Amino acid sequence: MKIVLKALQDQVVVLTGATSGIGLATARMAGIKGARLVLAARSGDALNKLVKEIIDGGGSAVSVIADVSKEEETESIAATAMEAYGCIDTWINNAGTGLYGRVEAVPVEDMRKLFEVNFWSVVYGSREAIKHLRASGGAIINLGSEVSERAVPLQGIYSASKHAIKGFTEALRMELEEEGVPISVTLVKPAQINTPFTINAKNFLSSEPVHVPKVYAAEVVASTILRAAVKPVRDIYAGGGGRVVAALGHFAPGLSDIFMEKMVIPGTPSGRPPRREPNKSGLDVPTESLSVEGNYPGRVARTSLYTQAMLHPGAASLVAAGVGIALFRLLRRPSAPRFT
């Protein structure tokens, strides 16, 4: 089965979670590249501003105010796309939110709600996309995370939701391949990205959370997503730091645990007071904030050589070898303890 994807300027692209962070960066980039956009989010005011911005810039876009944790509202996104443009070529399941706190401190009700937003929205979106792509072909792009491969402390339920997205995406890909359905299914796994994620997340820590480096710009992920929209990609880390963390977790899980315990747990609380009350987080209400960047105070990487290389097969083997050598040297240092 050969999957052929259209050039981006010839595509109708559905994008959920379009008004913040990665989604916003992707919408703007896709608009500049000429895609016709169907942009979905809960934040109506921010969504309308974004659509106007894209149209004023010479692009084409329509908006759908939708809560993608509800299946019927996901169906309305597809209906709007068909009414506005008559087809769908790429469906990007990007919507999601965060939840910070130790596992025993987070209410189970909030854990379940996060799964509705992060995981079930991907299920609903993928199933709806298949209805429209089965005959004509196209791409489904699901947003996982580096924590799809290696969970992190203080984000236990978020990590679990991204693990679930990985499992669902892999199963879906195999089933469509076996049927010979011409749909490319991609899992994009961003590393730590400087978006409002840490500001909007529901937070049970004593202070506002912040990412632990290495941190990348949202545009690194946006360019990765749009590459997968025009060329079939199985899965890809957006930001090489995520690949290193995942590899360390695979080859030296005990050492990885110690790293997380010593670096991530003390490094996540910023010491600054939270900007949002717990019941006004992105998990509970629309944020109405049209913002790409977050609260990370350090250097933000604007590119990822690793990701660019992996998207170009000729260089991918060299990069993979380099990651392997780096890990081998790290684990062979005489001073490094061994864990099993």
Q: Active-site positions?
A: 158
Nearest to 108 by CA among 211, 206, 204: 204
By CB atoms closer than 10 A (0-12, 13-18, 19+), residue 9 is exposed
CA distance 37 to 15: 7
Token pair listed for 295: 């609260």
Contact yes or no for 208/288 (Cβ under 8 A)? no
In the block, residue with structure tokens 């070529």: 89
By CB atoms closer than 10 A (0-12, 13-18, 19+), residue 2 is exposed
CB atoms within 10 A of CB 180: 7
Nearest to 295 by CA among 209, 171, 169: 209
Q: Is the dihedral of CA 201, 204, 210, 212 positive or negative?
A: negative
